[in-house]
Amino acid sequence: MPAILARKDVIIQAKTGSGKTAAFAIGLLHHLNPRHFGVQAMVMCPTRELAEQVGDVIRQLASRMPNIKVVMLCGGKPFGPQRDSLEHGAHVVVGTPGRIQDHLQRHTLHLTGLTTFVLDEADRMLDMGFADVMASITASLPRARQTLLLSATIPDDIQKISRSIQREPVSIKADSVVAEDDTTLEQLFFEIQKQERDTALLALFEHYQPQNAMVFCNTKKQCDEVAHFLQAHDIEAAAIHGDLEQRQRDQVLLQFANDSCPVLIASDVAARGLDIPALEMVVNFELPRDADTYVHRIGRTGRAGLSGKAFSLVTPAEAPRMRVIEDHLNITGICDQLASLDRDPNYHLRGAMATVQIDAGRKQKIRPGDVLGALTGDAGLDAGAIGKITIADNTSHVAISRTALRQAMSYLAQGKVKGRAIRARHIGSNAPPSPPRQKDARKRRT
Protein backbone atom coordinates (compact mmCIF):
# COMPACT_ATOMS: atom_id res chain seq x y z
CA MET A 1 0.00 0.00 0.00
CA PRO A 2 2.69 2.62 0.77
CA ALA A 3 4.29 2.09 -2.65
CA ILE A 4 0.93 2.26 -4.45
CA LEU A 5 -0.15 5.38 -2.58
CA ALA A 6 3.22 6.98 -3.41
CA ARG A 7 2.33 6.47 -7.12
CA LYS A 8 5.24 4.11 -7.74
CA ASP A 9 5.07 1.34 -10.30
CA VAL A 10 4.70 -1.96 -8.46
CA ILE A 11 5.01 -5.61 -9.43
CA ILE A 12 3.20 -7.72 -6.84
CA GLN A 13 3.48 -11.44 -6.29
CA ALA A 14 1.24 -12.89 -3.59
CA LYS A 15 -0.81 -16.02 -3.23
CA THR A 16 -4.52 -16.03 -3.97
CA GLY A 17 -6.69 -14.65 -1.19
CA SER A 18 -3.99 -12.39 0.25
CA GLY A 19 -5.73 -9.11 -0.59
CA LYS A 20 -4.12 -7.99 -3.87
CA THR A 21 -7.41 -6.71 -5.29
CA ALA A 22 -8.20 -4.58 -2.25
CA ALA A 23 -4.67 -3.17 -2.29
CA PHE A 24 -4.75 -1.83 -5.84
CA ALA A 25 -8.45 -0.86 -5.65
CA ILE A 26 -7.90 1.34 -2.59
CA GLY A 27 -4.85 2.85 -4.27
CA LEU A 28 -6.54 3.75 -7.55
CA LEU A 29 -9.62 5.15 -5.77
CA HIS A 30 -7.38 7.29 -3.56
CA HIS A 31 -5.90 8.99 -6.63
CA LEU A 32 -9.20 9.68 -8.44
CA ASN A 33 -10.58 13.16 -9.05
CA PRO A 34 -14.38 12.67 -8.73
CA ARG A 35 -15.08 15.98 -10.48
CA HIS A 36 -13.41 14.84 -13.68
CA PHE A 37 -15.64 12.42 -15.61
CA GLY A 38 -12.96 10.84 -17.75
CA VAL A 39 -11.26 7.45 -17.48
CA GLN A 40 -8.54 7.87 -14.87
CA ALA A 41 -7.93 4.22 -13.98
CA MET A 42 -8.17 0.98 -15.95
CA VAL A 43 -7.91 -2.60 -14.69
CA MET A 44 -7.36 -5.37 -17.26
CA CYS A 45 -8.16 -8.99 -16.32
CA PRO A 46 -7.82 -12.24 -18.30
CA THR A 47 -11.43 -13.43 -17.86
CA ARG A 48 -14.84 -11.87 -17.52
CA GLU A 49 -15.42 -13.70 -14.25
CA LEU A 50 -12.35 -12.14 -12.65
CA ALA A 51 -13.15 -8.72 -14.14
CA GLU A 52 -16.65 -8.77 -12.64
CA GLN A 53 -15.30 -9.71 -9.23
CA VAL A 54 -12.73 -6.91 -9.40
CA GLY A 55 -15.45 -4.48 -10.50
CA ASP A 56 -17.64 -5.50 -7.56
CA VAL A 57 -14.77 -4.91 -5.11
CA ILE A 58 -14.07 -1.46 -6.54
CA ARG A 59 -17.77 -0.53 -6.41
CA GLN A 60 -18.02 -1.66 -2.78
CA LEU A 61 -14.95 0.32 -1.78
CA ALA A 62 -16.21 3.38 -3.71
CA SER A 63 -19.72 3.22 -2.25
CA ARG A 64 -18.88 5.93 0.33
CA MET A 65 -17.35 8.21 -2.31
CA PRO A 66 -19.65 10.61 -4.20
CA ASN A 67 -20.31 10.14 -7.93
CA ILE A 68 -17.68 7.49 -8.70
CA LYS A 69 -18.64 5.59 -11.85
CA VAL A 70 -17.19 2.16 -12.71
CA VAL A 71 -17.81 0.73 -16.20
CA MET A 72 -17.31 -2.92 -17.14
CA LEU A 73 -15.94 -3.69 -20.63
CA CYS A 74 -16.13 -7.46 -21.09
CA GLY A 75 -16.92 -9.77 -23.97
CA GLY A 76 -20.16 -11.70 -23.92
CA LYS A 77 -22.10 -8.48 -23.29
CA PRO A 78 -23.67 -6.12 -25.89
CA PHE A 79 -21.29 -3.48 -27.17
CA GLY A 80 -23.85 -0.66 -27.37
CA PRO A 81 -24.66 -0.22 -23.67
CA GLN A 82 -20.94 -0.19 -22.87
CA ARG A 83 -20.39 2.53 -25.48
CA ASP A 84 -23.27 4.57 -24.05
CA SER A 85 -21.90 4.26 -20.50
CA LEU A 86 -18.52 5.52 -21.65
CA GLU A 87 -20.14 8.46 -23.45
CA HIS A 88 -21.77 9.54 -20.18
CA GLY A 89 -18.40 9.53 -18.45
CA ALA A 90 -16.56 7.02 -16.28
CA HIS A 91 -13.82 7.23 -13.68
CA VAL A 92 -12.74 3.58 -13.69
CA VAL A 93 -12.82 0.94 -16.43
CA VAL A 94 -12.51 -2.77 -15.66
CA GLY A 95 -12.42 -5.21 -18.56
CA THR A 96 -10.90 -7.98 -20.61
CA PRO A 97 -8.23 -7.45 -23.27
CA GLY A 98 -10.35 -8.26 -26.33
CA ARG A 99 -13.23 -5.94 -25.49
CA ILE A 100 -10.96 -3.12 -24.31
CA GLN A 101 -9.12 -3.33 -27.64
CA ASP A 102 -12.47 -3.24 -29.51
CA HIS A 103 -13.43 0.00 -27.80
CA LEU A 104 -10.04 1.55 -28.47
CA GLN A 105 -10.19 0.63 -32.16
CA ARG A 106 -13.71 2.05 -32.47
CA HIS A 107 -12.67 5.22 -30.60
CA THR A 108 -15.35 4.74 -27.94
CA LEU A 109 -12.74 4.48 -25.16
CA HIS A 110 -10.43 7.45 -24.59
CA LEU A 111 -7.47 7.08 -22.25
CA THR A 112 -5.68 10.40 -22.56
CA GLY A 113 -6.46 11.17 -18.89
CA LEU A 114 -5.44 7.75 -17.56
CA THR A 115 -3.20 7.91 -14.49
CA THR A 116 -3.38 4.31 -13.16
CA PHE A 117 -3.15 1.08 -15.17
CA VAL A 118 -3.50 -2.33 -13.52
CA LEU A 119 -2.68 -5.69 -15.10
CA ASP A 120 -4.30 -8.33 -12.91
CA GLU A 121 -3.23 -11.97 -13.37
CA ALA A 122 -0.92 -10.93 -16.19
CA ASP A 123 0.64 -14.38 -16.56
CA ARG A 124 -2.79 -15.87 -17.21
CA MET A 125 -3.30 -13.35 -20.05
CA LEU A 126 -0.10 -14.63 -21.65
CA ASP A 127 -1.28 -18.23 -21.24
CA MET A 128 -4.52 -17.32 -23.02
CA GLY A 129 -2.69 -15.81 -26.00
CA PHE A 130 -3.29 -12.12 -25.25
CA ALA A 131 0.35 -11.04 -25.60
CA ASP A 132 -0.17 -9.04 -28.83
CA VAL A 133 -3.42 -7.50 -27.57
CA MET A 134 -1.74 -6.47 -24.30
CA ALA A 135 1.12 -4.87 -26.23
CA SER A 136 -1.32 -2.98 -28.47
CA ILE A 137 -3.30 -1.65 -25.51
CA THR A 138 -0.30 -0.58 -23.44
CA ALA A 139 1.16 1.22 -26.46
CA SER A 140 -1.93 3.47 -26.52
CA LEU A 141 -1.63 4.55 -22.87
CA PRO A 142 -0.17 7.85 -21.67
CA ARG A 143 3.51 7.53 -20.75
CA ALA A 144 3.04 9.46 -17.51
CA ARG A 145 1.07 6.88 -15.56
CA GLN A 146 1.34 4.45 -12.66
CA THR A 147 1.42 0.77 -13.71
CA LEU A 148 0.63 -2.03 -11.27
CA LEU A 149 1.29 -5.62 -12.32
CA LEU A 150 -0.14 -8.42 -10.16
CA SER A 151 -0.16 -12.20 -10.13
CA ALA A 152 0.28 -15.21 -7.90
CA THR A 153 3.23 -16.26 -10.09
CA ILE A 154 5.82 -14.12 -11.92
CA PRO A 155 7.52 -16.17 -14.67
CA ASP A 156 10.28 -14.79 -16.91
CA ASP A 157 7.81 -13.56 -19.56
CA ILE A 158 6.14 -11.34 -16.98
CA GLN A 159 9.50 -9.89 -15.99
CA LYS A 160 10.03 -8.94 -19.65
CA ILE A 161 6.62 -7.26 -19.82
CA SER A 162 7.39 -5.37 -16.61
CA ARG A 163 10.60 -4.00 -18.09
CA SER A 164 8.73 -2.78 -21.17
CA ILE A 165 5.77 -1.06 -19.46
CA GLN A 166 6.97 -0.11 -15.96
CA ARG A 167 9.49 2.41 -14.70
CA GLU A 168 11.75 1.29 -11.86
CA PRO A 169 9.02 -0.87 -10.32
CA VAL A 170 9.00 -1.79 -6.65
CA SER A 171 8.92 -5.59 -6.42
CA ILE A 172 6.81 -6.99 -3.59
CA LYS A 173 6.55 -10.69 -2.78
CA ALA A 174 4.36 -12.00 0.01
CA ASP A 175 3.61 -15.69 0.55
CA SER A 176 4.32 -16.21 -3.13
CA VAL A 177 4.28 -19.98 -2.92
CA VAL A 178 2.77 -22.58 -0.64
CA ALA A 179 5.30 -23.16 2.10
CA GLU A 180 6.09 -26.57 3.54
CA ASP A 181 5.06 -25.39 7.01
CA ASP A 182 1.78 -23.84 5.83
CA THR A 183 -0.47 -25.30 8.51
CA THR A 184 -3.64 -23.86 6.94
CA LEU A 185 -3.38 -26.10 3.88
CA GLU A 186 -3.24 -29.89 3.93
CA GLN A 187 -1.73 -31.31 0.73
CA LEU A 188 -1.87 -35.02 -0.11
CA PHE A 189 -1.07 -36.96 -3.29
CA PHE A 190 -2.89 -40.26 -3.82
CA GLU A 191 -1.23 -42.90 -5.97
CA ILE A 192 -3.78 -44.55 -8.26
CA GLN A 193 -4.03 -46.39 -11.54
CA LYS A 194 -5.54 -44.53 -14.48
CA GLN A 195 -8.77 -46.54 -14.43
CA GLU A 196 -9.31 -45.72 -10.74
CA ARG A 197 -9.81 -41.95 -11.09
CA ASP A 198 -13.62 -41.95 -10.68
CA THR A 199 -13.69 -44.30 -7.70
CA ALA A 200 -10.78 -42.45 -6.11
CA LEU A 201 -12.62 -39.13 -6.39
CA LEU A 202 -15.75 -40.62 -4.86
CA ALA A 203 -13.65 -42.07 -2.03
CA LEU A 204 -12.31 -38.61 -1.18
CA PHE A 205 -15.86 -37.20 -0.91
CA GLU A 206 -17.13 -40.16 1.12
CA HIS A 207 -14.23 -39.94 3.57
CA TYR A 208 -13.72 -36.18 4.04
CA GLN A 209 -17.39 -35.22 3.49
CA PRO A 210 -16.81 -31.55 2.60
CA GLN A 211 -19.62 -28.99 2.49
CA ASN A 212 -18.21 -27.62 -0.79
CA ALA A 213 -15.38 -28.46 -3.15
CA MET A 214 -13.75 -27.76 -6.51
CA VAL A 215 -12.49 -30.51 -8.79
CA PHE A 216 -10.02 -29.47 -11.49
CA CYS A 217 -9.77 -31.31 -14.79
CA ASN A 218 -7.44 -30.82 -17.75
CA THR A 219 -10.06 -31.10 -20.53
CA LYS A 220 -13.58 -29.84 -21.15
CA LYS A 221 -14.87 -33.35 -21.87
CA GLN A 222 -13.40 -34.56 -18.59
CA CYS A 223 -15.25 -31.79 -16.71
CA ASP A 224 -18.62 -32.89 -18.09
CA GLU A 225 -17.92 -36.56 -17.42
CA VAL A 226 -16.87 -35.96 -13.81
CA ALA A 227 -19.92 -33.78 -13.14
CA HIS A 228 -22.25 -36.50 -14.46
CA PHE A 229 -20.43 -39.13 -12.42
CA LEU A 230 -20.81 -37.21 -9.15
CA GLN A 231 -24.45 -36.38 -9.85
CA ALA A 232 -25.11 -40.09 -10.39
CA HIS A 233 -23.73 -40.67 -6.88
CA ASP A 234 -25.94 -38.06 -5.16
CA ILE A 235 -23.31 -35.30 -5.10
CA GLU A 236 -24.72 -32.12 -6.64
CA ALA A 237 -22.11 -30.80 -9.08
CA ALA A 238 -21.87 -28.54 -12.11
CA ALA A 239 -19.19 -28.20 -14.78
CA ILE A 240 -17.67 -24.96 -16.04
CA HIS A 241 -15.37 -24.69 -19.05
CA GLY A 242 -14.79 -22.72 -22.23
CA ASP A 243 -17.43 -24.47 -24.34
CA LEU A 244 -20.27 -23.13 -22.20
CA GLU A 245 -22.01 -19.95 -23.23
CA GLN A 246 -21.17 -16.96 -21.07
CA ARG A 247 -24.68 -16.93 -19.58
CA GLN A 248 -24.28 -20.58 -18.55
CA ARG A 249 -20.87 -19.91 -17.00
CA ASP A 250 -22.25 -16.95 -15.07
CA GLN A 251 -25.13 -18.99 -13.67
CA VAL A 252 -22.90 -21.90 -12.65
CA LEU A 253 -20.46 -19.59 -10.83
CA LEU A 254 -23.29 -17.72 -9.17
CA GLN A 255 -24.90 -20.94 -7.86
CA PHE A 256 -21.55 -22.17 -6.61
CA ALA A 257 -20.76 -18.89 -4.85
CA ASN A 258 -24.13 -18.67 -3.08
CA ASP A 259 -24.18 -22.32 -1.88
CA SER A 260 -26.85 -23.49 -4.34
CA CYS A 261 -24.46 -25.96 -6.00
CA PRO A 262 -21.74 -27.19 -3.61
CA VAL A 263 -19.32 -28.79 -6.09
CA LEU A 264 -17.75 -27.10 -9.12
CA ILE A 265 -15.95 -29.16 -11.78
CA ALA A 266 -13.64 -26.74 -13.53
CA SER A 267 -11.11 -26.47 -16.27
CA ASP A 268 -8.39 -23.90 -15.69
CA VAL A 269 -10.60 -21.14 -17.09
CA ALA A 270 -11.93 -21.00 -13.51
CA ALA A 271 -8.58 -21.40 -11.75
CA ARG A 272 -8.04 -17.66 -11.43
CA GLY A 273 -9.98 -15.02 -9.59
CA LEU A 274 -12.82 -17.01 -8.04
CA ASP A 275 -13.65 -15.48 -4.67
CA ILE A 276 -14.90 -18.36 -2.51
CA PRO A 277 -13.93 -17.39 1.05
CA ALA A 278 -14.43 -20.79 2.73
CA LEU A 279 -13.77 -23.53 0.18
CA GLU A 280 -13.10 -26.74 2.08
CA MET A 281 -11.52 -29.00 -0.54
CA VAL A 282 -9.78 -28.84 -3.91
CA VAL A 283 -9.09 -32.00 -5.90
CA ASN A 284 -6.80 -32.32 -8.90
CA PHE A 285 -8.62 -35.04 -10.81
CA GLU A 286 -5.53 -35.03 -12.99
CA LEU A 287 -2.29 -33.20 -12.20
CA PRO A 288 -1.82 -29.98 -14.20
CA ARG A 289 1.02 -29.82 -16.70
CA ASP A 290 2.96 -27.10 -14.86
CA ALA A 291 3.64 -26.12 -11.26
CA ASP A 292 2.27 -22.57 -11.54
CA THR A 293 -1.16 -23.91 -12.50
CA TYR A 294 -1.01 -26.24 -9.50
CA VAL A 295 -0.36 -23.24 -7.22
CA HIS A 296 -3.35 -21.38 -8.61
CA ARG A 297 -5.62 -24.39 -8.32
CA ILE A 298 -4.88 -25.20 -4.70
CA GLY A 299 -4.93 -21.48 -3.88
CA ARG A 300 -8.74 -21.68 -4.04
CA THR A 301 -8.72 -23.25 -0.55
CA GLY A 302 -6.92 -22.31 2.68
CA ARG A 303 -7.51 -18.61 1.96
CA ALA A 304 -7.05 -15.76 4.41
CA GLY A 305 -5.82 -17.99 7.22
CA LEU A 306 -8.63 -20.56 6.98
CA SER A 307 -7.81 -24.25 6.80
CA GLY A 308 -8.22 -26.18 3.56
CA LYS A 309 -7.49 -29.48 1.87
CA ALA A 310 -5.80 -29.96 -1.51
CA PHE A 311 -5.69 -33.49 -2.88
CA SER A 312 -4.21 -34.77 -6.13
CA LEU A 313 -4.77 -38.08 -7.90
CA VAL A 314 -1.46 -39.25 -9.39
CA THR A 315 -1.01 -42.10 -11.84
CA PRO A 316 2.45 -43.62 -12.50
CA ALA A 317 2.64 -41.63 -15.75
CA GLU A 318 2.12 -38.38 -13.80
CA ALA A 319 4.94 -39.00 -11.32
CA PRO A 320 7.33 -36.64 -13.20
CA ARG A 321 4.75 -33.83 -12.91
CA MET A 322 4.54 -34.41 -9.16
CA ARG A 323 8.33 -34.15 -8.83
CA VAL A 324 8.28 -30.82 -10.71
CA ILE A 325 5.63 -29.53 -8.29
CA GLU A 326 7.65 -30.74 -5.30
CA ASP A 327 10.76 -28.95 -6.56
CA HIS A 328 8.84 -25.76 -7.33
CA LEU A 329 7.23 -25.58 -3.88
CA ASN A 330 10.19 -27.04 -2.00
CA ILE A 331 8.00 -29.73 -0.47
CA THR A 332 8.03 -33.50 -0.26
CA GLY A 333 4.68 -34.81 -1.46
CA ILE A 334 2.97 -37.05 1.07
CA CYS A 335 1.56 -40.00 -0.84
CA ASP A 336 -1.35 -41.89 0.64
CA GLN A 337 -3.33 -44.94 -0.37
CA LEU A 338 -7.06 -44.87 -0.99
CA ALA A 339 -7.48 -48.15 0.84
CA SER A 340 -6.63 -46.33 4.09
CA LEU A 341 -9.70 -44.06 3.85
CA ASP A 342 -12.83 -44.86 5.81
CA ARG A 343 -15.82 -44.31 3.50
CA ASP A 344 -19.48 -43.61 4.15
CA PRO A 345 -21.47 -45.24 1.31
CA ASN A 346 -24.58 -43.26 2.36
CA TYR A 347 -22.88 -39.89 1.92
CA HIS A 348 -24.68 -37.39 -0.29
CA LEU A 349 -24.23 -33.65 -0.83
CA ARG A 350 -26.74 -31.02 -1.87
CA GLY A 351 -26.61 -27.24 -1.68
CA ALA A 352 -28.34 -25.71 1.33
CA MET A 353 -29.69 -22.88 -0.83
CA ALA A 354 -31.55 -22.52 -4.14
CA THR A 355 -31.07 -19.65 -6.60
CA VAL A 356 -34.04 -17.59 -7.80
CA GLN A 357 -33.70 -15.21 -10.75
CA ILE A 358 -35.85 -12.06 -10.85
CA ASP A 359 -36.37 -10.15 -14.10
CA ALA A 360 -35.43 -6.73 -12.70
CA GLY A 361 -32.07 -5.31 -11.80
CA ARG A 362 -29.88 -2.26 -11.48
CA LYS A 363 -31.45 -0.45 -14.46
CA GLN A 364 -34.89 -0.89 -12.90
CA LYS A 365 -33.53 0.73 -9.69
CA ILE A 366 -33.66 -2.57 -7.77
CA ARG A 367 -31.35 -2.82 -4.76
CA PRO A 368 -30.56 -5.79 -2.49
CA GLY A 369 -32.64 -4.19 0.25
CA ASP A 370 -35.69 -4.13 -2.02
CA VAL A 371 -35.47 -7.88 -2.64
CA LEU A 372 -34.80 -8.64 1.01
CA GLY A 373 -37.70 -6.42 2.12
CA ALA A 374 -40.18 -8.07 -0.25
CA LEU A 375 -39.24 -11.58 0.87
CA THR A 376 -39.07 -10.93 4.61
CA GLY A 377 -42.01 -8.51 4.63
CA ASP A 378 -44.82 -9.38 2.25
CA ALA A 379 -43.68 -12.97 1.63
CA GLY A 380 -43.15 -13.60 5.35
CA LEU A 381 -39.79 -15.41 5.08
CA ASP A 382 -37.38 -15.41 7.99
CA ALA A 383 -34.27 -13.30 7.31
CA GLY A 384 -32.13 -16.34 7.99
CA ALA A 385 -33.64 -18.07 4.96
CA ILE A 386 -32.24 -15.40 2.61
CA GLY A 387 -28.68 -15.74 1.38
CA LYS A 388 -26.56 -13.79 -1.07
CA ILE A 389 -28.37 -11.25 -3.28
CA THR A 390 -26.67 -10.28 -6.56
CA ILE A 391 -27.92 -7.37 -8.68
CA ALA A 392 -27.06 -7.21 -12.40
CA ASP A 393 -28.20 -4.69 -15.01
CA ASN A 394 -31.57 -6.28 -15.83
CA THR A 395 -31.76 -9.26 -13.50
CA SER A 396 -31.30 -10.05 -9.84
CA HIS A 397 -30.46 -13.34 -8.15
CA VAL A 398 -31.23 -14.30 -4.59
CA ALA A 399 -30.22 -17.43 -2.70
CA ILE A 400 -33.09 -18.85 -0.65
CA SER A 401 -33.03 -21.78 1.77
CA ARG A 402 -34.43 -24.87 0.06
CA THR A 403 -36.90 -25.29 2.92
CA ALA A 404 -38.33 -21.83 2.17
CA LEU A 405 -38.20 -22.04 -1.63
CA ARG A 406 -41.84 -23.01 -2.21
CA GLN A 407 -43.09 -20.18 0.01
CA ALA A 408 -40.84 -17.68 -1.80
CA MET A 409 -41.89 -18.80 -5.26
CA SER A 410 -45.58 -18.71 -4.35
CA TYR A 411 -45.22 -15.07 -3.34
CA LEU A 412 -43.04 -14.05 -6.29
CA ALA A 413 -45.52 -15.60 -8.74
CA GLN A 414 -48.13 -13.07 -7.63
CA GLY A 415 -46.28 -10.39 -5.67
CA LYS A 416 -44.17 -7.34 -6.33
CA VAL A 417 -40.68 -6.02 -5.65
CA LYS A 418 -40.41 -2.26 -5.13
CA GLY A 419 -43.97 -1.78 -6.34
CA ARG A 420 -43.56 -3.49 -9.70
CA ALA A 421 -44.80 -6.91 -10.75
CA ILE A 422 -41.89 -9.20 -11.55
CA ARG A 423 -41.25 -12.61 -13.01
CA ALA A 424 -39.12 -15.09 -11.09
CA ARG A 425 -37.79 -18.56 -11.75
CA HIS A 426 -35.72 -21.10 -9.89
CA ILE A 427 -32.52 -21.83 -11.80
CA GLY A 428 -30.67 -25.08 -11.35
CA SER A 429 -30.28 -28.53 -12.82
CA ASN A 430 -33.28 -29.85 -10.90
CA ALA A 431 -35.35 -26.71 -10.64
CA PRO A 432 -39.08 -27.36 -10.12
CA PRO A 433 -41.49 -25.39 -12.30
CA SER A 434 -42.54 -22.02 -10.99
CA PRO A 435 -46.18 -21.63 -9.86
CA PRO A 436 -48.34 -20.19 -12.67
CA ARG A 437 -48.79 -16.44 -12.66
CA GLN A 438 -52.32 -15.14 -12.30
CA LYS A 439 -53.54 -13.56 -15.50
CA ASP A 440 -54.55 -9.93 -15.46
CA ALA A 441 -58.35 -9.81 -15.66
CA ARG A 442 -58.22 -6.58 -17.62
CA LYS A 443 -58.34 -6.93 -21.38
CA ARG A 444 -55.28 -5.70 -23.20
CA ARG A 445 -55.77 -3.00 -25.79
CA THR A 446 -54.58 -3.93 -29.27
Alpha-carbon span 220 to 222, nearest angstrom: 5
**Rama region for 187: left / alpha / beta (φ>0; ψ in -120 to 50; rest):** beta
Instruction: Render pLDDT for 180-220 as a digit per residue (tens, 0 to 9).
Output: 445 578 888 999 998 999 999 999 999 999 999 999 999 99
Mean of the pLDDT values across residues 105-132?
89
161 and 204 both lie in a single domain: no
pLDDT of residue 6: 94
* Residues 269 and 414 reside in one and the same domain: no
Residues 262 and 331 in one domain: yes
The CATH number covering residue 133 comes to 3.40.50.300
User: Residue 426: pLDDT above 70?
Assistant: yes
CATH number at residue 409: 3.30.70.330
Tell me the whole-structure pTM to 2 decimals.
0.71
* Whether residue 257 sits in one domain with residue 115: no
201 and 109 part of one domain: no
Q: What is the pLDDT of residues 98-116, one digit of tens each?
A: 999 999 999 999 999 999 9
**In terms of domains, do 167 and 231 share one?**
no
302 and 204 in a common domain? yes
Contact 415, 426 (CB under 8 A): no
- Residue 131 has a pLDDT of 84
Q: Which pLDDT score, from 0 to 100, does residue 67 have?
A: 85
Residue 422 to residue 419: CA distance in whole angstroms: 9
Cα separation, 66 vs 101, in Å, equals 29
Q: Residue 83: its pLDDT value, please?
A: 95
Does some domain include residue 436? no
96 is in which domain, residue-wise?
A: 2-174
Q: Tell me, yes or no, whether 322 and 361 share the same domain.
A: no
d(Cα 117, Cα 146) in Å, to the nearest integer?
6
Domain stop point among 340, 373, 406: 340
pLDDT tens digit sequence for 41-79: 999 998 888 898 899 999 999 988 888 999 999 988 899
Among residues 318, 340, 362, the one where a domain terminates is: 340
Are 412 and 327 members of one domain?
no
- pLDDT grade for 176, boundaries at 50, 70 and 90: very low
Over residues 290-299, the pLDDT tens digits come to 888 888 888 7
142 falls within a domain: yes
- Confirm if 312 and 287 have CB atoms less than 8 A apart: yes
**Is the domain of 158 the same as that of 211?**
no
Return the pLDDT at 117. 97
439 within some domain = no
Mean residue pLDDT across the chain: 86
Please report whether residue 347 resides in a domain: no
Q: Which of 152, 174, 196 is the last residue of a domain?
A: 174
- How many separate domains does the chain show? 3
445 in any annotated domain = no
Q: How far apart are CA 357 and CA 257, in angstroms?
A: 15
Q: To the nearest 10°, report the CA torsion of 21, 261, 72, 122.
A: 50
- Residue 433 resides in a domain: no
In a domain, 317, yes or no: yes
Domain-embedded: residue 441: no
Residues 336 and 357 in one domain: no
Share of the chain above pLDDT 90, in %: 55
**Are 85 and 160 within one domain?**
yes
The pLDDT of residue 349: 95
